[in-house]
Amino acid sequence: MSMCKSLKVKYNPFPRNPIPDPEDLVLYDPHNYLYTLHSVVNYTLSTGKSNHAVIIGPYGSGKTHLLLCLLRKLKGLKGVISVYIPTPSDNFFTIYSNIIKSIPLKEIIAASDSLPPDIARKIKMLENSDYSEYILSWLYGEKISSNIRYKLSLGRNLDEYMAIAILGSILKVIDKTLVILLDELEHLVEIPIQVRQRYASLLRYMIDSIPRKFCIIASATPAGWNEILENYIALARRLSGTVIYLHNISLKHAYELVDVYLAKYGIAHDDLFCEKAIKEAYIASQGNIGDFLKIMAAAVEYATEKGIDKVDAEIVKEVLRYYS
């Protein structure tokens, strides 16, 4: 029997895409991190008080996986707007526009009466304007040419502080809890310092401006978080209501993890892997869950290409030599 027939699935059971579809994720959470994260959100849902958290772990430790699993749990939950942002990039409007785009347009228009008259007028133009695409672009924080702005009486382009004010007013009117899942917060310390300082101030201002029904769960590497703590203590203090440090998996966890992924396809791990193969991949990964899964995925692909039915330790070693 060939490896492909053994698997009986179209796709490799182990993830290769760094940002998979949340619906495709397999949850394996032996440390109950997801329960802790869900408790952070539940506190805001039950009390209305804003509440924030940080997940800290090295690359490959499962930060993105946890955020996306939480996103899947929150999607469709009544009264909740949940937004996953892969990276803050170097522009605050990356965060803002992702949030605004997640709010149904009819709700934004309905909430416009709570905004300053000039802003309300612009948003109401979305109902029947031939230029609604430009109004939307303006609302999302995109730059509109001066000619178009003059023609539509838009005035100046939206700035970040006005954007935060608009967002806060809309959220207050629609009365929903906003949950932002912000991945790779360490990118903040990699952008030019002038932009970095303004960005950190804007994040802090947004948190202060939305004191109710607002929850940020951010992830960062240990080095990135330490630098944020050292240089942007005011922001770090606001985010660190709950801090979760991710741990490497044990060998026992590695065996369980393989079982969980293969169970989705009705396959036992000893049908596909020799136990020494799993151990070899675990040792090479040093318990980093992301590296472990990448090695397992590469081993399955290698065996499939060679027409081998079962992955043994030698195949894993060969894969490691090839990818090292």
pLDDT in tens, 257-296: 999 988 888 888 888 899 999 999 999 999 999 999 999 9
Residue 37, class by beta-carbon neighbours within 10 Å (0-12 exposed, 13-18 middle, 19+ buried)? buried
The full length of the chain comes to: 324
- The DSSP secondary structure of 11-66, one letter per residue, reads S-SS--SSS--GGGPPP--TT-HHHHHHHHHHHHHHH-B---EEEE--TTSSHHHH
Per-residue pLDDT, 277: 95
Is the alpha carbon torsion for 24, 30, 36, 39 positive or negative?
Answer: positive
Per-residue pLDDT, 76: 79
**By mean pLDDT, which of 131-135, 186-190, 201-205 is the weakest?**
131-135
Average pLDDT taken over every residue of the chain: 89
pTM score of the predicted model: 0.89
| pLDDT one-digit tens code per residue, 108-140 | 999 998 888 988 988 988 887 788 899 999 999
| pLDDT one-digit tens code per residue, 210-231 | 999 999 999 999 999 999 999 9
Q: What is the token pair recorded at 233? A: 């203590």
Per-residue pLDDT, 7: 42
Q: What is the token pair recorded at 174? A: 């629609």
Per-residue pLDDT, 209: 95
